[in-house]
Amino acid sequence: MTVEIFLIADNTDDAETLAAQLEGVLARSAVSALLIRAGDEDDFAYLARVKPLAKIAQKHDCAVLLDNRPELVRKAHVDGVHMSGGIKALREALDELKPDFIVGTGDIGSRHEAMSRGELDIDYLMFGDRDDIDGREMADWWAETFEVPSVFCAGASDDLSGLKSEFAAFAQADWDRVPPGDAS
């Protein structure tokens, strides 16, 4: 199975460097999705940072996801949202955006929590974005057991050989580790 690439962009004030990094990765690798972290930015600052990055990513057929801001998806002209809050916030995002937009979730702390979220109409579950569980084990377990795709957040030292998860996510600091692939 081929693992698809999922990028995670930091919340940074250096938009030019981030845009150049993103262009570089997208030019050498086929990337399926880009999650743009929000941090503490207000909606206006976040949208101002998201829009140019979204244009770059979408030019390369890469889906763009906002970070916990479902109410901004339409305004930003992006493809969906990543929700890391509780199940109530996830349900609200699903009600607001499905079936027209992607809604994924992360910050999952147990198999039970994964199954509870997986019963909803979500597009993916992200594992490895918490330090208190084995994200690789959880992502592989999920991929072997359920149809909803899993995303494994790969750390700088993670070996991806044998990964069963459908997606491998790379934080911005690790974009140089993204394997080259057909970026056409």
Angle between helices 111-118 and 135-145 (to 10 degrees): 40
Of 5-9, 10-14, 146-150, the range with the lowest mean pLDDT is: 10-14
Q: What integer best gives the mean pLDDT of the chain?
A: 94
92 touches 105 (CB < 8 A)? no
> pTM for the complete prediction?
0.95
Q: Give me the helices (H) in 67-179, please.
A: 73-76, 87-97, 111-118, 135-145
Residue 184: pLDDT band (50, 70, 90) is low
Average pLDDT over residues 1-15: 88
51 touches 76 (CB < 8 A)? yes
Residue 183: pLDDT band (50, 70, 90) is low
What are the tens digits of pLDDT across the range 130-151?
877 899 999 999 999 999 999 9
Q: Supply the pLDDT for residue 156.
A: 79
Examine the pLDDT at 1 and tell me if it is beyond 60. Answer: no
Examine the pLDDT at 80 and tell me if it is beyond 90. Answer: yes
Q: Supply the pLDDT for residue 12.
A: 84
Residues forming a β-bridge with 34: 7, 64
Residue 182: pLDDT band (50, 70, 90) is confident
Place of tokens 């996510």: 169
